[in-house]
């Protein structure tokens, strides 16, 4: 099995609509993306995607993609905040597809 293969079936059928809505809100709130050696750092508009929503999104992502690593940062005095997603080799291609990173 490919170590970067996601299993969306790990997210229950009753929860998929919420997961899909969170991914859409994440994408809509994305203001910047920085490529890293093993993933991406995303800058999100704090008024478009709350920290509570990010936490919920991460819980879902850990179900279907347990190989991902997450770090959230809230810079003082700014409305935006950062979420870093990293993982093993091949994860950047997966993230580009899943989160529409150019």
pLDDT for the residue 58: 95
**Which phi and psi (to 5°) does residue 78 adopt?**
-120, 150
pLDDT for the residue 96: 83
Mean pLDDT of the residues in the chain? 88
Domains and CATH numbers, the chain: 8-99 (3.30.1360)
pLDDT, greater one: 78 or 70: 70
pLDDT at 1 > cutoff 50: no
pLDDT for the residue 2: 53
pLDDT for the residue 102: 52
Give the model's confidence band at 3: pLDDT under 50 very low, under 70 low, under 90 confident, else very high: low
| Per-residue model confidence as pLDDT tens digits over 27-45 | 999 999 999 999 999 999 9
pLDDT for the residue 6: 83
């Amino acid at each position: 099995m490919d170590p970067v293969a996601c299993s969306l079936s790990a997210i229950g059928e009753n929860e998929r609509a919420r997961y899909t809505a969170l991914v859409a809100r994440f994408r809509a709130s994305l203001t910047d993306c920085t490529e890293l050696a093993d993933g991406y750092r995303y800058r999100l508009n704090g008024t478009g995607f709350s920290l509570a929503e990010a936490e919920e999104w991460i819980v879902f992502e850990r179900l279907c993609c347990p190989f991902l690593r997450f770090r959230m940062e809230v810079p003082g005095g700014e409305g935006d905040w950062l979420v870093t997603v990293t993982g093993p080799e091949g994860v950047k291609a997966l993230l580009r597809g899943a989160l529409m990173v150019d």
